[in-house]
Amino acid sequence: MAESIGRHGQWVHAELFDASLPARCRITLGEGDTPLERAPELGAALGVSELYLKREDRSPTGSHKARSLGLLVSDLLSRGVSQAVISSSGNAAVAAAAYCNEAGIKLLSLVSPRTPLVKLEALLRHGQLVVATDRPVELLHHCALEWGMADLRSSTNPLGPVAYRGIAAELQSALDCGAVFTFANSGATALGLHQGFARLSSAARSPSIHPVEGWPGGELTRPWYERAAEMPPSGIGDLGTRRSRLAPAVRRAVRGSGGRGWRISKVDLQRMLELTKQVRVDTSWEGLAALAAVQRWVLQPEFTAPVVVLITGSADQLDLHPASAIEELVPVVTTEIQLDRLLAGASFRRDSAAR
């Protein structure tokens, strides 16, 4: 762990984090300061004169979740927490495992049996306990109450959105952007962006914030689609949360910024995939959804540029196929009793002192 302490990483933005953590507990894997790339050819195809891609897929864990989990795990380390739990569709669990390894914290990741194999394999490389279940949230609550595990979900921790303020600081120092688009599950990223720009009083203006979901969407984008005709599911974001406790705050932030929520169809995704192939831009389905939303935003009278799109996952995540026999890779459980046996066998401690 000592090797990961002392390098700045995202901690150059510590004054934005509202978390007084001692330097010895500020874990970093080199997250933050991700590339901001101008995409003129793609921008021209979308009708955007100035389009930039914030390459969060270049983060040390492959997604923007490195920022949030780096901060959350550092907070656990400062409080002497020894074990934690997360329910995740993939990227958050990968980041949580990487940072818990650095902190010496035991982690249980609860994943869906439908988790894409590429994400599951990335998670397993970190060597922490991974369990597949159709009841991830219920079993997470069991682990928190009965085993004293800290809950590492960004949607339930007040610090969850905070690290994403660092993205706002990096964007503000580079350009006077008019709008920022990001795929959203819990909405923590969009909320943190808005908070970050609000804190940066030196900014000439605050950009509009645009959270993006796949159809059928959830609470984050519901107000903008209450009268919309139903469309077939897009197939992305299905394993994430549809009912986030952050939703009211996110919607207020988005409206206050002059932005709006977007829902993207499967047809939109396929069209954007073909377009990005033509201009040689690689990204995940979530990145494609955010780009498709930009294409719609261009047609609105409120459109402003420059536009920044957060690329929150890599192109290898385009493969959504789950493991053909997940039980051969990780334990599969359905009940609390089954999980308790696994945890005991993995040397987790069943007491409140672990929190």
Across the strands, what pairs with 213?
A: 263
DSSP strands (E only) in 191-348: 208-214, 262-264, 307-311
Structure tokens that stand for 18 in this block = 């509202």
Tell me which DSSP letter residue 319 carries: -
What pLDDT score was predicted for residue 255? 96
* Structural domains of the chain ordered from first start: 24-58+161-313 (3.40.50.1100), 64-158+323-348 (3.40.50.1100)
Residues whose CB is less than 8 angstroms from the CB of residue 28 and which lie 6 or more positions away in sequence, other chains included: 4, 5, 7, 8, 9, 10, 11, 70
Q: Cis omega (within 30 of 0) on the bond before 136?
A: no
pTM: 0.93
Structure tokens that stand for 42 in this block = 């793609």
Across the strands, what pairs with 309?
A: 53, 181
Beta strands 150-151 and 262-264 are unpaired
Question: What are the pLDDT digits (tens) for 170-229?
Answer: 999 999 999 999 999 999 999 999 999 999 865 557 899 999 999 999 999 999 998 888
What pLDDT score was predicted for residue 321? 86
Dist. CA 261–CA 67, nearest whole Å: 23
Across the strands, what pairs with 181?
A: 210, 309
Nearest to 196 by CA among 167, 174, 173, 176: 167
What pLDDT score was predicted for residue 5? 39
Sheet of 129-132: strand order equals 129-132, 106-111, 83-87, 150-151
DSSP strands (E only) in 136-295: 150-151, 179-183, 208-214, 262-264
Q: How many CB atoms lie within 10 A of CB 143?
A: 26
Dist. CA 39–CA 44, nearest whole Å: 9
What pLDDT score was predicted for residue 239? 58
What pLDDT score was predicted for residue 3? 40
Residues in the chain with pLDDT < 70? Answer: 1-7, 201-204, 238-243, 352-355
| The Cα angle at residue 286 between residues 220 and 227, in degrees rounded to 5 | 40
Question: What are the pLDDT digits (tens) for 216-232?
Answer: 999 999 999 988 888 88
Q: Cis omega (within 30 of 0) on the bond before 216?
A: yes
Q: Tokens 């954007």 — which residue? A: 272
Nearest to 55 by CA among 297, 282, 277, 295: 282
What pLDDT score was predicted for residue 66? 97
DSSP strands (E only) in the chain: 36-38, 51-55, 83-87, 106-111, 129-132, 150-151, 179-183, 208-214, 262-264, 307-311
Structure tokens that stand for 171 in this block = 């964007």
Tell me which DSSP letter residue 238 carries: T
Dist. CA 299–CA 313, nearest whole Å: 26
Dist. CA 276–CA 171, nearest whole Å: 23
